[in-house]
Every structure is written in structure tokens, then in C-alpha cells.
Amino acid sequence: MRTLVANGTIVTADQVIRTNVLIEDDRIVEIAPSIASPADHTIDASGKLVLPGGVDVHTHLDMPLGKIRTSDDFESGTIAAACGGTTTIIDFATQSKGQTLRQALDAWMKKADGKAAIDYGFHLVVTDLSDQVEAEMDKLVSEGVPSFKLFMAYPGRLMLDDGAIFRALVRTRENGGQVSIHAENGHVIDVLVKRALAAGHTAPKFHALTRPAGTEAEAVRRAIALAELAGAPVYLVHLSTAEAAEEVGAAKKRGLPVFGETCPQYLLLSEERYQEPGFAAAAYVMSPPLRTVADQDRLWRALAAGELDVVATDHCPFMMKGQKEIGLGDFSKIPNGAPGVEFRMSLLYDGGVRPGRLTLTRFVDVTSTAPARVFGLYPRKGTIAPGSDADLVIFDSDRAARISAATHHMRVDYNPYEGREVTGVAETVLSRGRTIVEQGRFVGRAGAGAFLRRAARERQDLG
């Protein structure tokens, strides 16, 4: 099967060029202004951008939290991702205390099998680092699961102490893996939460007030210091503050292999949302919380300058009704997280490219190329080149759409961007050469996504 994507403006992390792309089965085989080879099917991309499929390396689908779980499973979540122009996700398989990493991975593989509509991989969340688990890390890296997430927050549940974090970093230095860290000072936050509740402060806004910017900045500094001591790279997830961006930028200037991620919510939503009346502010309870407009501006500048590398979503949806409501009367019980996987590309284009905060090439870099590079998928994913998977997005940069829970594909009863009009939407989406979104409508198949084995660090360009 040969498909020709004709007359589009191809955008990669390196160039913008008007040309044609020829696909044979699931791979790109030729890129040229004129292609003589016959095609079975032609997609006319005149007047449109042709982007590499988005790579979202931070999602939480079908994730248990006590007696509930995130409202999107691997079917609804990946369909929503596809409709927004994302063709690859990396989700998190979480190790329970006493469990092996293999058991955690097997459990999440079962969740995705037969449901994922786009290609997917997993990071392993390490919560119990025994000698056996360290040895397992080596084996998983060799088998194509080379990334591990560690928490500095949530003591007693997810958090590892500094010694365990250091051991994991040293292990990945040796085996070619990649450690990601949720950097917030969990012990300090717990003290602040207990004091707030003791004082009778129970409203959702106190979630943010008990996680001040300094709790992130301190943990980011500590994570970078531990990685430097270990001689290992480190990836800092969902950074929300100016201070965190500056720490990452300073580490890069010293030549350290430190990578920073932020999310659309930290670029486009501010702490003013916590002033919404009643329990409505629970919609924005996430960790870390929303910050100031000044933080937003600094994060945009950091992205443009290369101080931050990736925009992912931390898609972690909970229903307001029946799930977020668990925290009525006690902000500390509100499930942390918000939906976003469907709108990352449009939000970044509308909020970044159109106002001149990001160039087109940088937009592609932070949403596709850089995440693919850091996590061992490049050049199979993250670019438009001969030999790469034919994951393409025909993107209408002039088309406007209004974001609403009434029309989105995510299985959640609210949208944090409700009513926002964005200009720039995914019109047609191809996953390994198959059209899965056409004129904004999902036409793919649940279960068609493939599990991705990823390269260890020594076999990829960290660039």
C-alpha cells in the first residue's frame, strides 16, 4: 500500500519545506518535491502543515488511586490523543510495595493490550528499590523498557529517599537507562498540609497554598545534585515554576545531561483558577499546582531557549462527580490530576507559535522530536524522514475550534480549558501509514496500537 501526502508544508525540528511524502505500508520511503512512483492513495495537504505525530511521554491511563482509577482507559485515552495529533504515548506502570518491576509491567501491558489505538510504551515507577529490583532494571533496559520514574513526593506511598534515588541513578549510568523524577519536597508538603487542616483550611485552593514554589525548586536542585554525583542523566517531569526552569538551565550551561519537561497547564493556566467559587477549583487540583502568570512567562522563555526540552501533558483525568468529590471538606483527599492529552498540540500552537513565543520548528521539537530522542524512540518516531514510521499529522493552522467537555473525546466530565478557542487543529492523522483521524473524526481501531521497545541511552543520540 502506497500513500502520497502531496503539496504540504513539512515541518520538522530542523526545517520547514514544501514537498511531498511517499509512504509504503507503515514507513516513509521518499520525500521530494516531485515523486514519480505511483501511489494507491493520495492525501492533498495543500495549504496545510505536515507534522510528525506527537509524542506524549507523560500520561496516566487506567491508573488506580485507592478505590478509584483515572477515568480514561487505554481505549478512550489513546483515541482522544489521536484526535489531537498525538500518535505515541509513554504511560507509567507503577510498582506496588513488594512487587517486582516485571509484575508491574505485565499488569499495565494487559491494560493496554487490545485497547490502545496508537503506539505506546511504559516507564516503570519504582517505589521499592531492593537489590533484586536494581538487577531487574538492567534486564528491563536490555528488553526495551529503559526508563524509570522516581518520586520525591508522597512519603509512605510513592516516595524514595535520597539514597535510593542515588542508587537508581548510578544503576542507569551503568545500564543505559533514563531516570525521571517528580521533584517536590514531600516531607515539607506533608507538614504544610497537616497545619492547614488543623487550622480549618479545607477548600481546594489550599492544595496550592501547601505546595509553594520553593518545594519544587528545592527538590529540583537536589535531584540535579544527586544526578551529578551519580554521573547520570536525569529528566525532571512537569516543571511549573520559574525557579525550576532556571535550575535546569543553569545545569545545562554547566554541561550536565539534565532534561526538563513542562505541561500546557503550567503555560496557559494560572493560580487564579483556585479562586473559583465553591468546589469548582478542585478541577485544577494537580501536583504541582498552577502557578503565577510570571511563572508562565518564564517557562515559555525557557522552552524557546532550550532550557526546557519537552511539553507533555501529565494527562491524569478524574471525574468531578464521584471522584474529585471525594475531597469535599478536605482538600488533601481530592484526587490530583487533570485531563489534557487531546489538546496539547492545538494549545501549544495557539499559545506558542501564533503569538511568536515558539518557532514552528521548536514547536515540533518540544512536542515530538525531543521526547522521542530522550526516551529512545528517535528516529523511528519524532521526525519525518525516510525509514521513520509514517506517523503524520495534517495540521490546519488556520482552523479554529472551541474546547469543551461537551465535544471532547476524553472520558471526563469537565475540561480545564472549557470555552477556550484555539486556532490550529489536527485534521488528518496517520499512525504507521494508516489513517486514524479524518476531518477530525476518529476512524481508527482500538487495539491497533503497538507496544514500542525503546533504545537504551548508549544507542541513541541525546543531542
CATH number of the domain that residue 432 is part of = 2.30.40.10
Instruction: Tell me if the bond preceding 355 is cis, omega within 30° of 0.
Output: no
pLDDT of residue 459: 45
Residue 463 within a domain? no
Task: Return the number of other C-beta atoms located less than 10 Å from residue 356's C-beta.
Answer: 8
Computed on alpha carbons and rounded to an integer, the radius of gyration of the chain in Å comes to 21
Residue 460 within a domain? no
Domain count, the chain: 2
The verdict on 329 and 423 lying in the same domain is: no
Q: Which residues of the chain have pLDDT under 50?
A: 459-463
User: Can you give the pTM of this predicted structure?
Assistant: 0.97
The verdict on 267 and 396 lying in the same domain is: no
The verdict on 29 and 58 lying in the same domain is: no
CATH of the domain at 92: 3.20.20.140
Q: Measure the CA–CA gap between 305 and 358, rounded to whole angstroms.
A: 9
The verdict on 161 and 213 lying in the same domain is: yes
The verdict on 388 and 257 lying in the same domain is: no
Residue 130 within a domain? yes
pLDDT of residue 202: 98
The verdict on 293 and 238 lying in the same domain is: yes
Which domain covers residue 11, as residue numbers?
2-51+383-400+418-442
The verdict on 72 and 30 lying in the same domain is: no
pLDDT of residue 268: 98
Q: Measure the CA–CA gap between 395 and 48, rounded to whole angstroms.
A: 6
Residues 6+ apart with CB under 8 A from 69: 62, 63
Choose one of 354, 382, 410: the last residue of a domain.
382
The verdict on 281 and 297 lying in the same domain is: yes
pLDDT of residue 457: 81
Q: Measure the CA–CA gap between 78 and 250, rounded to whole angstroms.
A: 36
Residues 6+ apart with CB under 8 A from 125: 92, 93, 94, 95, 104, 148, 149, 150, 151, 158
Residues 253-290 pLDDT 10s: 999 999 999 999 999 999 999 999 999 999 999 999 99
Residue 455 within a domain? no
Residue 451 within a domain? no
Residue 408 within a domain? no
pLDDT of residue 463: 36
Residue 277 within a domain? yes
Q: Measure the CA–CA gap between 148 and 103, rounded to whole angstroms.
A: 15
The verdict on 171 and 37 lying in the same domain is: no
pLDDT of residue 458: 58
The verdict on 267 and 194 lying in the same domain is: yes
50, containing H or E segment: strand 49-52
The verdict on 118 and 7 lying in the same domain is: no
Residue 346 within a domain? yes
The verdict on 155 and 119 lying in the same domain is: yes
